[in-house]
Structure 1
Amino acid sequence: MQLTTEQLKEKIKEYKKRLNVTIVAHFYQRDEVFEIADITGDSLELAIKTRDDDSEFVLFCGVGFMGQSVKVLSPNKRVVMPKAACCAMATMIDGMQFDASVKVLNDAGIPNENILPITYINSNADVKAKVGEMGGMVCTSSNAKKIITTALKEGKKILFVPDRCLGQNIANQMGLKSCVIGDGTNPADADIICYNGFCSVHQLFTMDDINFYRKKYPGILIAVHPECDPEICNAADFVGSTSQLINYIKKLPEDQKVAVGTEFNLVNRLRPKNTFVLSSTKPECPTMNETTLKDVYDVLKSIDEGEPLNEIEVDEKTQKWAKIALERMLAL
């Protein structure tokens, strides 16, 4: 018999009372999943909060690299995911592609000792491990500028993976020169060399969207995520990470209109009035929205039966170096 939404919620509540499980959910999750979580936040925030949680199991509602980050920082925890969903950006680079990117820099006359790699947290554990082993670190969209500022003090070229937009936007903010591998630019002439990855959702926002809202609502503010194209960020009134966007919009006067360029579920929960999605289409992350209440219920049921579904495992070497890359960031 198929359970209704309300029945699923009740079953989940029953399991939560009996099992040693903490449910965590990313801001981009659909509402019914987000609402049943014990802990909510952005990707790094969730990894840090769950590290301090004492439950045996972390049931992570998000995408694969996020579950890996929890496992890397808390190797003794058992991390399960309702859906083995992947982040499109994270799948754009793996360890072999990272090595190939380093070779591009080598071929341009930049030896390894003059390269400091930084990976956006939206990357899989194998890439974080490669970066850690090469002396680099992880960054988030909120601390990328601080991380890059610190890294540049070593006098090295920054290899930034995988999001070209975040790398370019930070370079623009800092007055630095950037390039994207494969764009025909000599990497030796750039301060920040970006891998050609991107977020498919944040690529949906266009100048036509901005012009539409500015014309329709004179005085409207445009707030976007730094995964958006540099042209969009340059035209916006505010650029910030998920948490920074939330804080910025919370502080606006109630009558101040704002159009927000980030994932739909987050924008939809920000505030009831004068907040618009900066897109003519629904910018909904398909993989973040794969997780359903039924998936959460199924995983809780599997834990109760002693055979947990979709458990995250990270091999010892990858775990070691990925953790080093994450801890270098946390130390700053």
Structure 2
Amino acid sequence: MMLEIKDLLHKLDALLVAHFYQRDEVVALAHLCGDSLELSRKASQSPKNLIVFCGVAFMGQSVKVLAPQKRVIMPKMACCSMARMIDSEYFDRSIATLESYGIPKEDIFPITYINSNADVKAKVAKMGGLVCTSANAKKIFDYAKSKQKKIFFLPDKCLGQNLAIADGKTSCIIGNASKEEVLGSDVICYDGFCSVHQLFSVSDVEFYRQKYPDIQIVVHPECDPSVVSIADFVGSTSQIISYVQSLPLEQRVAVGTEFNLVNRLRPKLNGINTTFVLSASKPECPTMNETTLQDVLDCLRAYEDNMPINEVFLDDDTQHWAKIALDRMLELS
């Protein structure tokens, strides 16, 4: 199977990219592996016109937004659970709620996390907002503060709250807060979250610190604020990889992010594992794990037969405005 996939990739002159959270066997075949924005940028800049994206839908959309002339196919049209928690209609409802509380639309500055679909990015751009990633969120947040408006952060409440806490700002979650709490908050967060990063808890941190007093606790900012506040290091996927791999191998570390990524971070030390997943469960991203080698093969065969499956298409308006949202971020990054 792997040989046929490689042959088809060569024959079709295709670029195969895979997110860090993909299965090991998919990552092993990929020409490029990285986080969502890094992959989207590199794929959009590739001389190859066919991009095979092993990830979730919003990632394939980002390639199409940045390089509309390219053809983007996805072995599995998997959907990020967080991105599914908001669409353009729910965005409009949230803005209407804030307006009903007496906050004028022009006084709201929206920021959407990269983990959102193109229609939401387009809505945000039309209100003057932009996109952020976990790596550049602080820089984007600082820019948003300079606008002196209410910041509406979506869809990840945890990242929004963590940014606010780190900056000494007040925050609330729309739908869970009273009108008075909303009006009194600097940052209003949408009630979305990552199904994987919600699995890590304070008790997990306490367990590892009790078992290994010298252990380093490393987490992603999509984790709950209670976990982020007691971690030794907080960073994006790429930042976590760089940090953990810079530590001496004898330094024990428990990492609060997706299982497949943690499993690949470091080799064992003389057969002894010093890199742990910060959870008693197996925190795999279910949608990232949907993509199999068979899916990759099937989509390549279908494309060769001029019957492409799971090709990414965007209407012109969404394409235009989603690109503005991404471009605004890239200009600041």
Where 1:89 maps in the other structure, the secondary structure is: helix
Where 1:35 maps in the other structure, the secondary structure is: helix
Q: What is the rounded CA distance, in whole Å, between the counterparts of 1:228 and 1:304 in structure 2?
A: 42
2:306 is matched with which residue? 306
Please point out which of 69, 86, 98 is paired with 2:79: 86
Greater mean deviation of Cα atoms: 64-73 or 183-192: 183-192
Partner amino acid, structure 1, of 2:283: P
Describe how 1:37-76 pairs up with structure 2 within 5 A: 37-76=30-69
2:186 is matched with which residue? 191
Partner amino acid, structure 2, of 1:68: Q
Deviation, 1:262, is 0.3
Describe how 1:197-276 pairs up with structure 2 within 5 A: 197-273=192-268, 274-276=274-276
Offset from partner CA, 1:34-82 (integer Å, 9 cap, x none): 1100111000001110111011210000000100011011100000000
Q: What is the rounded CA distance, in whole Å, between the counterparts of 1:145 and 1:304 in structure 2?
A: 44
Could you list the runs of 5+ residues in structure 2 that have no partner in the other structure?
269-273
Q: What is the rounded CA distance, in whole Å, between the counterparts of 1:101 and 1:184 in structure 2?
A: 13
Percent sequence identity is 61
Deviation, 1:126, is 0.6
Q: What is the rounded CA distance, in whole Å, between the counterparts of 2:210 and 2:227 in structure 1?
A: 16
Could you list the runs of 5+ residues in structure 1 that have no partner in the other structure?
1-7
2:174 is matched with which residue? 181
Partner amino acid, structure 2, of 1:283: P
Q: What is the rounded CA distance, in whole Å, between the counterparts of 2:233 and 2:163 in structure 1?
A: 14
Runs of 4+ in 1 over 6 A off after TM superposition: none
Deviation, 1:179, is 0.6
Please point out which of 63, 84, 103 is paired with 2:96: 103
Q: What is the rounded CA distance, in whole Å, between the counterparts of 1:256 and 1:317 in structure 2?
A: 51
Deviation, 1:248, is 0.7
Q: What is the rounded CA distance, in whole Å, between the counterparts of 1:110 and 1:173 in structure 2?
A: 25
Partner amino acid, structure 2, of 1:298: D
Q: What is the rounded CA distance, in whole Å, between the counterparts of 2:73 and 2:249 in structure 1?
A: 40
Offset from partner CA, 1:70-115 (integer Å, 9 cap, x none): 1011100000000010000000001010011111211221101111
Greater mean deviation of Cα atoms: 229-238 or 185-194: 185-194
Partner amino acid, structure 1, of 2:111: I
Q: What is the rounded CA distance, in whole Å, between the counterparts of 1:108 and 1:234 in structure 2?
A: 31
Offset from partner CA, 1:244-292 (integer Å, 9 cap, x none): 1001101111111000000000000000231100000000000000000
Q: What is the rounded CA distance, in whole Å, between the counterparts of 2:101 and 2:172 in structure 1?
A: 13
Deviation, 1:305, is 1.2
Q: What is the rounded CA distance, in whole Å, between the counterparts of 1:322 and 1:304 in structure 2?
A: 30
Q: What is the rounded CA distance, in whole Å, between the counterparts of 2:28 and 2:217 in structure 1?
A: 28
2:271 is matched with which residue? none
1:4 is matched with which residue? none
Partner amino acid, structure 2, of 1:136: G
Describe how 1:127-166 pairs up with structure 2 within 5 A: 127-166=120-159
Give the number of equivalent residue pairs. Answer: 325
Backbone CA RMSD of aligned residues: 0.8
Q: What is the rounded CA distance, in whole Å, between the counterparts of 1:182 and 1:15 in structure 2?
A: 49
Where 2:131 maps in the other structure, the secondary structure is: strand
Q: What is the rounded CA distance, in whole Å, between the counterparts of 2:241 and 2:101 in structure 1?
A: 41
Partner amino acid, structure 1, of 2:24: D
Please point out which of 20, 23, 36 is paired with 1:30: 23
Deviation, 1:325, is 0.3
Deviation, 1:303, is 1.5
Please point out which of 10, 13, 26 is paired with 2:6: 13
